[in-house]
């Protein structure tokens, strides 16, 4: 599948629209249309049900520490600025960017690639924002233009090695920027904090400055004590949250994959330090299985353990669940979710002040006067185990997923094309979205075969029976074959048709989206049949 086909389908059928499209759009922001909102709600609801409400349906596997409890919260998007100072986001949550003085373009330093080329006695690094095969073609085209050569003289270009990142280049004066005509127009890389700033209250000054949260996780940490005090949860337990996060990404790209406003589904799971490695493995495997169970079962999904060098300074294990999105070069994967062992870093930072590693130990970062650089809350966020009569700061396992990235992966995986005979037996190309039934935006569609002979009335009756239980669609316009295809294109698993036989024996035809199998059931059995077939 080409990404363009999916993007076009998403717009045509109301899954996703560019934000503020009538004004030319706003880069990095996306709106979900009538079907997209249902799909994303189903993703969120599947996550909440499986991880929070019904988490005991999948008990820890044999050998895992013990059973556990799960609960949820919904914290605010704007929080006390000190939260971000102690979490490290204020100082460390940045990307490096480079600007082009000629084209005025701004790029993420780590997303520029290029190739060294020599011609006419000059050595130039030709930069591109593309990767893989596309980068090779793009750099060749740019080099020909730069050296004023025709394509037939491409052999005058001596390429010195393959595509490498700009981060390997020291001489910026020899770089031809991705959108530049002259050499040396890229600035040196500079830090760029990704948090969106705003101000709270009527006065705008440094002390009124607040931030849109870049992750939902910190809302959980700062409420840890509130949850403990207001519920009877005992360690091990998890707090879950779904909500919007905001990052001022330098180069939002690849449809919704890298947006500036997006939704996260995060769990902070609190446990004893001694059992945390087993819980880490449990959550890593459990989260991987969740995507598989919802249909990302093939080779496009993978679980990748970070090697030691990639780990955050406080972590003893991190893994990413990744998907081979079609917009990535072959063999490349994009992150859907990270599962991190965060130790006691976050709770201790909010107690004591921002932590840093010093000689293998986490200690509070000090300023030039020996005072904490950022003061913590000073509140006691430790846990007292009543049975063991022991106090400790829990360790945390954090499965952190993106609702939009998961939705995009489910859209990519669902897209299929096949050929099916039309009413006259002629082959017809069919686009079908093979969503897992739990995720399908519409669960069933009801059609009268024709708009007469009392068929619409019976179909409306069935529609009325199904609607309170499942998202159901009624359609009586056009040839029935076309109506089937319209439902296939949005992934409706079952279509129910009222036909001539219905008027005689009270049965209707049900058609399966994937197998195209058709069978008959009594019209008052439709709800039970849909429930049973979709496993709901």
Q: Rule CB under 6 A: which residues touch ligand GAP? A: 215, 217, 247, 249, 258-259, 262, 264, 266, 335-338, 398, 400-402, 404-405
Q: How many CA atoms lie within 13 A of 444 on its CB side?
A: 27
- For residue 207 the two structure tokens come to 């002390």
d(CA 296, CA 414): 9
In the block, tokens 């503020």 appear at 20
Angle at 8 between CA 7 and CA 9, to 5 degrees: 90
Torsion of CA 69, 74, 78, 80, to 10 degrees: -40
**Cβ(432)–Cβ(5) under 8 Å?**
no
Q: How far is the CB of 406 from ligand GAP (least distance, A)?
A: 7
Q: How far is the CB of 157 from ligand GAP (least distance, A)?
A: 37
Nearer CB in complex with ligand GAP: 283/484: 283
Provide φ and ψ at 341, rounded to 5°. Answer: -85, 115
Q: How many CB atoms lie within 10 A of CB 28?
A: 20
Among 98, 115, 104, 94, CA closest to 159 = 115
In the bound state with ligand GAP, the residue whose beta carbon lies nearer, of 258 and 341, is 258
Compute the least distance from the CB of residue 376 to ligand GAP, in Å.
Answer: 19
Select 267 or 445, whichever has its Cβ closest to ligand GAP: 267
When CB distances to ligand GAP are compared, the closest residue is 402
Please, what is the minimum distance in Å from the beta carbon of residue 47 to ligand GAP? 12
Sheet bearing 395-402, strands edge to edge = 69-72, 237-246, 261-271, 395-402, 334-343, 317-323, 301-305
| Cβ proximity to ligand GAP, 97 vs 401, nearer residue | 401
Q: Rank residues 225 and 258 by Cβ distance to ligand GAP and give the closer one.
A: 258
Handedness of CA 330, 407, 87, 355 (dihedral sign): negative
Q: Going by C-beta distance under 8 Å and a sequence separation of 6 or more, which residues neighbour residue 503?
A: 453, 454, 455, 458
The residue (of 338 and 437) whose beta carbon lies closer to ligand GAP is 338
Cβ–Cβ under 8 Å, residues 294 and 264: no
HEC string for 180-232: CCCECCECCCEEEECCCEEECCCCCCHHHEEEECCCCHHHHHCCHHHHHHHCC
Burial per residue of 71-93, b for 16 or more beta-carbon CB atoms within 10 angstroms, e otherwise: ebbebebebebbbbbbbbbbbeb
- Find out whether the peptide bond into 455 is cis, omega within 30 degrees of 0: no
| φ and ψ of 421, to 5 deg | -70, 140
* Between 74 and 358, CB nearer to ligand GAP: 74
Least distance (Å) from ligand GAP to the CB of residue 60?
Answer: 23
Nearest CB to ligand GAP, comparing residues 262 and 463: 262
Least gap, CB of 345 to ligand GAP (angstroms): 12
Nearer to ligand GAP among residue 197 and residue 418 (C-beta) = 197
How far is the C-alpha of 323 from the C-alpha of 60, rounded, in Å? 25
Q: How far is the CB of 256 from ligand GAP (least distance, A)?
A: 7
Question: Could you tell me the smallest distance in angstroms from the CB atom of residue 261 to ligand GAP?
Answer: 8
Q: How far is the CB of 335 from ligand GAP (least distance, A)?
A: 5
Cβ nearer to ligand GAP, comparing 87 with 497 = 87
Least distance (Å) between residue 122 CB and ligand GAP: 38
Q: Hey, CA dihedral for 30, 31, 33, 36, is it positive or negative?
A: positive
């Amino acid at each position: 599948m080409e990404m363009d086909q999916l993007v076009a389908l998403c717009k045509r059928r109301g899954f996703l629209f560019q934000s503020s499209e009538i004004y030319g759009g706003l880069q990095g922001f996306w709106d979900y249309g009538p079907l997209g909102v249902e799909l994303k709600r189903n993703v969120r609801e599947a996550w909440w049900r499986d991880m929070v409400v019904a988490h005991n349906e999948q008990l820890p596997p044999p050998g895992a520490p013990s059973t556990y409890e799960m609960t949820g919260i919904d914290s605010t998007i704007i929080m006390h600025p000190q939260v971000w100072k102690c979490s490290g986001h204020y100082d460390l949550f940045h990307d490096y960017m480079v600007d082009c003085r000629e084209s005025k373009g701004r790029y993420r330093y780590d997303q520029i690639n290029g190739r060294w080329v020599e011609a006419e006695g000059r050595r130039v690094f030709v930069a591109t924002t593309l990767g893989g095969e596309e980068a090779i073609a793009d750099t060749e085209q740019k080099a020909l233009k730069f050296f004023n050569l025709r394509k037939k003289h491409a052999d005058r270009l001596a390429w010195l090695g393959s595509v490498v990142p700009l981060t390997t280049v020291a001489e910026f004066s020899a770089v031809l920027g991705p959108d530049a005509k002259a050499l040396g127009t890229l600035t040196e890389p500079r830090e760029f904090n990704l948090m969106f700033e705003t101000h709270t209250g009527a006065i705008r000054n440094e002390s009124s400055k607040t931030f849109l949260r870049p992750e939902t996780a910190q809302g959980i940490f700062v409420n840890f004590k509130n949850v403990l005090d207001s519920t009877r949860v005992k360690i091990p337990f998890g707090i879950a949250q779904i909500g919007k996060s905001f990052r001022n990404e330098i180069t939002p790209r690849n449809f919704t994959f890298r947006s500036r406003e997006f939704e996260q589904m995060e769990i902070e799971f609190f446990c004893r330090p001694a059992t945390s490695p087993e819980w880490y493995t449990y959550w890593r495997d459990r989260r991987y299985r969740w995507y598989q169970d919802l249909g990302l079962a093939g080779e496009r999904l993978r679980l990748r353990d970070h090697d030691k060098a990639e780990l955050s300074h406080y972590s003893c294990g991190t893994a990413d669940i990744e998907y081979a999105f079609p917009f990535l070069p072959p063999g490349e994967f994009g992150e859907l979710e990270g599962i991190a062992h965060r130790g006691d870093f976050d709770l201790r930072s909010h107690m004591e002040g921002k932590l840093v590693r010093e000689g293998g130990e986490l200690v509070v970062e000090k300023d030039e006067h020996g005072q904490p650089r950022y003061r913590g809350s000073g509140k006691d966020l430790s846990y007292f185990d009543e049975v063991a009569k022991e106090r400790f700061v829990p360790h945390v396992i954090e499965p952190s997923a993106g609702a939009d990235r998961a939705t995009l992966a489910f859209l990519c995986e669902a897209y299929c094309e096949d050929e099916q005979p039309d009413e006259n037996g002629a082959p017809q190309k069919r686009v079908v979205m093979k969503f897992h039934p739990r995720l399908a935006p519409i669960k069933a569609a009801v059609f009268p075969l024709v708009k007469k002979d009392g068929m619409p009335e019976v179909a409306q009756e069935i529609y009325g029976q199904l609607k309170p239980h499942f998202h159901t669609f009624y359609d009586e316009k056009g040839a029935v074959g076309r109506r089937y295809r319209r439902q296939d294109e949005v992934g409706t698993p079952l279509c129910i048709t009222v036909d001539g036989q219905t008027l005689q024996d009270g049965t209707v035809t049900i058609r399966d989206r994937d197998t195209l199998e058709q069978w008959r059931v009594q019209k008052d059995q439709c709800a039970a049949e849909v429930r049973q077939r979709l496993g709901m």
